[in-house]
Homo-oligomer: A and B are copies of this chain.
Amino acid sequence: MTLHGIFAPTLTPLLPDLRVDFDRLLAHCNWLLDNGCHGLAVFGTTSEANSFSVAERMDVLDGLVDAGIDPAVLVPGTGMCAIPDAVALTAHAVRLGASGVLMLPPFYYKGVSDDGLFAAYSEVIQRVGDSRLRVYLYHIPPIAQVGIPLKLIERLVKAYPETVVGIKDSSGDWANQEAILDAFPGFGTLTGSEKFLLENLKRGGVGTITAVANVIPDRLRAFYDGWQNMDDAEAVAAQDKLNATRIAMQGYPPVAALKEMMASMRQDPAWRTVRPPLTVLTEGQRVSLMAGLDLGKIAG
Asked whether A143 and B109 contact (CB < 8 A) given A83-B51, A85-B53, the answer is yes
A276 touches B81 (CB 8 A): no
Q: Does A50 contact B (CB under 8 A)?
A: yes
| List of B residues within 8 angstroms of A54 by Cβ | 53
A276 touches B110 (CB 8 A): no
Asked whether A105 and B53 contact (CB < 8 A) given A110-B143, A142-B110, A143-B110, the answer is no
- Select from chain B the residue with minimum beta-carbon distance to A54: B53
Stretch at the interface among A112-120, A170-178, A219-227: A112-120
Q: Does A185 contact B (CB under 8 A)?
A: no
Least Cβ distance of A120 to chain B in Å? 4
B116 touches A81 (CB 8 A): no
A123 touches B50 (CB 8 A): no
Interface size class, chain A: 35 or more
B108 touches A143 (CB 8 A): yes
Q: Does A245 contact B (CB under 8 A)?
A: no
- Select from chain B the residue with minimum beta-carbon distance to A105: B277
Q: Does A288 contact B (CB under 8 A)?
A: no
A54 to B52, CA, bound (A): 13
Q: Does A247 contact B (CB under 8 A)?
A: no
B81 touches A112 (CB 8 A): no
